[in-house]
Amino acid sequence: MPQASLLSYFSKPVASSVVDRDHAGVNAAENVKSIGSGCTAVAAKAPAIIQKLQEKESLPATTASDIGSARDNQSEDASTSSLPEKQTPNTTNGFGLAPECSKIFSVPHLPEAIILPVQRAHLPSIQRLTSTTLPVRYSEVFFTATLTDPVVAQLSRAVLYSSDPVGWIRCRLEPCSPRTDASFSGLELSQIYIQALALLSPYRGLGLASVLLETILSSSIAKASETVCIYAHVWEKNEDALDWYAKRGFKRVMLVEQYYRRLKPSGAWIVRKELDGS
């Protein structure tokens, strides 16, 4: 399925008829020949960073998910470079996740809001808000993988407002192309792909999407030396979304023509932010 990044988050109207490709084997990221710095999305074995994290955290074996779709939100001004952490026990019982997945973050300017790992109890609300805000249908596995796939779990977060899920982010880890400037180092480089970023309308403009993104950027996976970038697809006419990403250090890398079957124009920009491992 093509990635309709940042298509439905904004309050201003956008085209309501969107992509309707099925989930079977259609991943536009795999059709992109290059997105710069030799970092190309490919369907291959799990990146080396996953194996290292599994050894370090004693995680069960997994591979990068083949399901994808990305969206994001309107421009927000709140800075989230430093997120206070709440040490709340038993937040991921039964998940089998790395210790960092149990972290809960408060939002300094919104005491009612917290960011935490996706839990089974959140899934019905997350599925409803996703179907409400993003005009693409997702399979059940897309949601349940946030519980069953340790890597997806580490790269997914929900935002709760007064204890109710009001938004979430879901990413996956992909191996980069072996053709890279850093290949001499012997590292198997990886990249993070933003598959979904959704927020209910009443909670937009509060900085919550920025906090969700920041939790991913501050994760051990994003900070690993092998993880070189994070990227998403954005509809070429969604200037608000492109501006939102630009303000957060993402750059337009490539325009993928005919990415969306039912949008006119049909192109999607790949927007990417380089990660320095710090």
Q: pLDDT tens for residues 88-124?
A: 333 333 333 445 556 888 898 999 999 999 999 999 9
Whether residue 46 lies inside any domain: the answer is yes
* Domain assignment present for 141: yes
For 150-204, how does the pLDDT look when each residue is reduced to its tens digit (9 = 90+)? 999 999 999 999 999 999 999 999 998 765 555 545 678 999 999 999 999 999 9
Which residues lie closer than 8 Å to 212 by C-beta, 6 or more apart? 115, 157, 159, 167, 168, 169, 197, 199
Q: How far is CA 17 from CA 13, 134, 152, in A?
A: 12, 11, 29
Question: 261 in a domain, yes or no?
Answer: yes
- Joined together, the tokens standing for residue 179 give 């053709």
Per-residue pLDDT at 111: 92
Q: Is residue 83 part of a domain?
A: yes
User: Into how many domains does the chain fold?
Assistant: 1
Q: Is residue 17 part of a domain?
A: no
The answer to whether the beta carbons of residues 59 and 173 sit under 8 Å apart is no
Comparing 41 with 186, the larger pLDDT belongs to: 186
- Rounded to two decimals, the pTM is 0.67
Domain membership of residue 138 (yes or no) is yes
- In this prediction, what percent of the chain has a pLDDT beyond 70? 58
Domain of residue 186 covers 28-274
118 vs 91: CA distance, rounded Å: 9
For residue 254, what is the enclosing H or E element? strand 251-256
Comparing 86 with 26, which gets the higher pLDDT?
86
Give the CATH number for residue 239.
3.40.630.30
Mean pLDDT rounded to a whole number for the chain: 71
- Residues paired with residue 197 on neighbouring β-strands, in sequence order: 169
Strands (E), 47-205: 85-86, 104-107, 110-116, 156-161, 164-175, 190-199
| CB neighbour list of residue 61: distance below 8 Å, 6 or more residues apart | 46, 54
Identify whether 12 is part of a domain. no
Per-residue pLDDT at 102: 61
Asked if residue 145 belongs to a domain, the reply is yes
